[in-house]
Amino acid sequence: METRTILVDPESFTPQRAVFKIPAGTRFKAKKLRVINTGLSNVYGDNVYFGHNGVYQLLSRVSLYSNNGSLIDTLTNMDYMGIKLLNMSNSQEFAIARQLAQNMGSSINCPSLSQVSLDEEVGKNDASLSGNSLYWDISFMLSFLQASNVLDDGYTVLMEFADFGTAGFQYQLTRPPVLAYDECLVEEPDHQPITAYMQIIPDRIIMPSGNSQFVRRLNAYYNNYVHNLYYYNIASSDKNPNKFPIALPLEKADFSVNGNKIMPLRGVNSLSKKLVLLNDLHAPSALCNYQSYFPVGYNGLYNPNKGLSYNGNFSYGCFRLDRMILTDLTLDYSFRQSEAPENNEFYTFILLAQVARTYNRLTDTVGYVYA
């Protein structure tokens, strides 16, 4: 396969967004679209260490448009990248992830069962000292590109950067980034008129003070075919300023679709079952150790760069539906009452659904999948 790498400067660049265009007729590998060649400058000069989302924490939205302006695919919640980045093995987390993705250290050194330590050294792998080597994998973020091979219809990539409040610190990019793609010199583009893929549709539920349970109809997914549904609780900003997915004692989640329960035996009624489903239905995840997923009541592995003990702050959940939501999708969720938000507080419960979509390149339209 003969290819050459093309670097494209942004058509427009501001501190809020960057716009890139790939001209029609250019054949490129859809699975290798990335934004590179920029660096991070922290306004206050402090060290920069990201959370689970890694360098994707700097983004609020990434969208792919056709030449006619149709929105083909978009990702608006970067927590989905945090889930995917945990799928790398321990050795990859130690090397590749820390250099490219910059996600929070989750690789461990385990010379014996009684000696487990986090591979995180003070002041090492500071994102603000990485030069102009920030790397955003656009194809890794957008399922439409993963479902394609060679494209040539012409597209626009829109990247919107997170504000300071979302990123957690004040920052600026050292220079405008560039879009890199591999142009195919020989291989022909995909000719199928319709491409099927999964798009991430987020939703959130606010739990007011004193409430430790709710039963809610999830209207955001009505008339959609839902594959996997990811869920997690980020509690309040006071208790969880990093917005990590926290594990709550006696946490239970049960879904019903069109009036029928999906999982018998009381649904996901333990954190161990929640972890098993995440590994079985999504992918095996590198979670350091048992304590990073379960709150056991004492300090766990310590990350000196984040000033954080890993104690129940990796608690993502996954539930497989593989159903068309025709009438309703209902969630019954609860945890121990003593952990309920206090006065003038509220907890935020987040859902990320993989929803089936199709794109017809002949009519330039995005459609639902009916099953």
Residue 1's pLDDT is: 63
Residue 89's pLDDT is: 78
How confident is the model over 157-177, as pLDDT tens digits?
A: 999 999 877 777 788 898 999
Tokens of 103: 């996600």
Gap between the Cα atoms of 231 and 124, Å rounded: 32
Gap between the Cα atoms of 328 and 305, Å rounded: 44
Residue 176's pLDDT is: 95
Gap between the Cα atoms of 201 and 194, Å rounded: 21
For domain 194-360, give the fold. Jelly Rolls (2.60.120)
Residue 289, number of CB atoms within 10 A of its CB: 16
Residue 293's pLDDT is: 81
Burial class (CB in 10 A: 0-12, 13-18, 19+), 304: middle
Compute the radius of gyration of the chain from its Cα atoms. Answer: 21
Tokens of 200: 């991430």
Low-confidence ranges of the chain (pLDDT < 50): none
For domain 3-191, give the fold. Adenovirus Type 2 Hexon; domain 4 (2.70.9)
Tokens of 199: 């798009």
Strand partners, 316: none
Alpha helices in the chain (DSSP H): 79-85, 90-92, 138-141, 143-146, 164-167, 271-277, 290-293
> At residue 37, what are phi and psi to the nearest 5 degrees?
60, 45
Q: Which residues in the chain are classed under CATH 2.60.120.20? A: 194-360
Residue 300's pLDDT is: 77
Q: What is the DSSP string of 64-91?
A: EEETT--EEEEE--THHHHHHHTTS-HH
Residue 298's pLDDT is: 64
Q: Which residues in the chain are classed under CATH 2.70.9? A: 3-191
Residue 215's pLDDT is: 94
